[in-house]
A = this chain, B = another copy of it.
């Protein structure tokens, strides 16, 4: 008769589908907000059946949390990059600032998704600390700058909030169409940022 057939390798979930689902989720949330996200729309936009979403995720909430952690990791890599390390604090800061500004311009929907999510009250405690750890190196870099006396001795969180807030708002205006960024404007923005934190 028959011997039982135990599977070694599970049949793989389609990585393209995962990416399509993430992409659709981010784009839809940017438009309609966290609570406005509809699973049917995610399914349609990512080209899978609604039921498939539940093969990948237990619930809408789990889907969104997964997308969040993923995106935060991607963002940390846009700021913290070995290539950005230069000889002076100023030059490294400049590289990081442009790295993040460039990322936001390229992926405004991801920037806005993360921004919305943080204040939505749906983020789990676990994910807060997981994602904070991604930015340890940035904190260390800024603390060093303060120790060297290159930048202002402001509370670290205020410093980061200030830098991030100005970038986000400008990018949002660009997306909205209220601002057309010329090459020169970007340089001016960086100068504004640097002047605000330098000692």
Which residues of A are at the interface with B, using a C-beta cutoff of 8 A?
30-37, 112, 116, 118-121, 152, 154-155, 157-158, 161-162, 164-170, 172-173, 176, 178-179, 181, 185, 188-189, 192-193, 195-198
Knowing that A161-B169, A195-B196 touch, tell me 12 more A-B residue pairs with CB under 8 angstroms. Answer: A32-B34, A33-B36, A35-B37, A36-B36, A119-B176, A152-B188, A154-B189, A158-B173, A161-B166, A162-B169, A165-B168, A165-B170
CB pair A116–B162 under 8 Å, yes or no, is no
Complex Cα gap A166–B173 (Å):
14
Give every chain B residue within 8 A of A198 (Cβ-Cβ): 195
A59 smallest CB distance to B (angstroms) = 16
Nearest-Cβ distance from residue A49 to partner chain B, whole angstroms: 24
Q: Which residues of B contact A164 (CB under 8 A)?
A: 169
Given the contacts A31-B121, A35-B33, A35-B35, A192 and B161 also touching, CB distance less than 8 Å: no
Verify B192–A154 contact, CB threshold 8 A.
Answer: yes
State the 5 A-B residue pairs at the shortest beta-carbon distance, nearest first: A165-B169, A35-B36, A33-B33, A196-B196, A192-B196
* Measured CA separation A193–B116 after assembly (Å): 24
CA distance A120 to B33 in the complex (A): 7
- Verify B35–A32 contact, CB threshold 8 A: yes
Taking CB atoms, residues of chain B closer than 8 Å to A121 are 31-32
Which residues of chain B are near A197, meaning CB under 8 Å? 192
Report B-chain residues with C-beta under 8 Å of the C-beta of A120.
32-33
Provide the residues of chain B in CB contact with A166, threshold 8 Å.
161-162, 165-166, 169, 196
Cα A72 to Cα B175 in complex, Å, equals: 21
Contacts of A173 in B (CB 8 A): 157-158, 161
Assess the A162–B152 pair: CB atoms within 8 A.
Answer: no
A179 partner residues in chain B, CB cutoff 8 A: 155, 157-158, 161
**27 A–B pairs (Cβ distance < 8 Å), ordered by A:** A31-B121, A32-B121, A33-B33, A33-B34, A33-B120, A34-B36, A35-B37, A112-B119, A119-B176, A152-B192, A154-B188, A154-B189, A154-B192, A157-B178, A157-B179, A158-B173, A158-B179, A161-B169, A161-B170, A162-B166, A165-B167, A165-B168, A165-B169, A166-B169, A192-B196, A193-B196, A195-B198
